Structure 1
Amino acid sequence: MTSTPGSNPYETGLFTVKAFDVVFAGFGGHPIKAELVKAEGIDGPLPCVVEYISYSGGRSYP
């Protein structure tokens, strides 16, 4: 699995996507942690979903 700059890839057991833990700077430089899931082997533009789960939420598996 190749990495995306500023991210750490992790195994999902899925063959059609790659998943990454990413961290980027938010307001005042505070770290924002996210999960990036990208389609594997697809050329061209794809739709995008952005989900904000707030402080009390958590993530599951991609």
Structure 2
Amino acid sequence: MNRYIDRPLPLLITSAIFAVLLISIVIFFGATQVTRGPIEMLLALLLGALLLFFRALSRRPR
């Protein structure tokens, strides 16, 4: 079985690190017209992946 399903902690930590990095990029460099689009797309992808991940965790039998 997939080890990320058995122990989801490494994937959660990785997702949290990516989220902190994206937020720090927005804070430090500002969201100009050029960088706003890619940053919003990356944040949307990250949030979508986290939602799917937590949904899969809640559906699996305990």
TM range (shorter): under 0.3
Larger RCO (alpha carbons 8 Å, 6+ apart): 2
Between structures 1 and 2, the one with greater strand share = 1
Which structure has the greater CA radius of gyration?
A: 2
Q: TM-score normalised to the size of structure 2? A: 0.21
Between structures 1 and 2, the one with greater helix share = 2
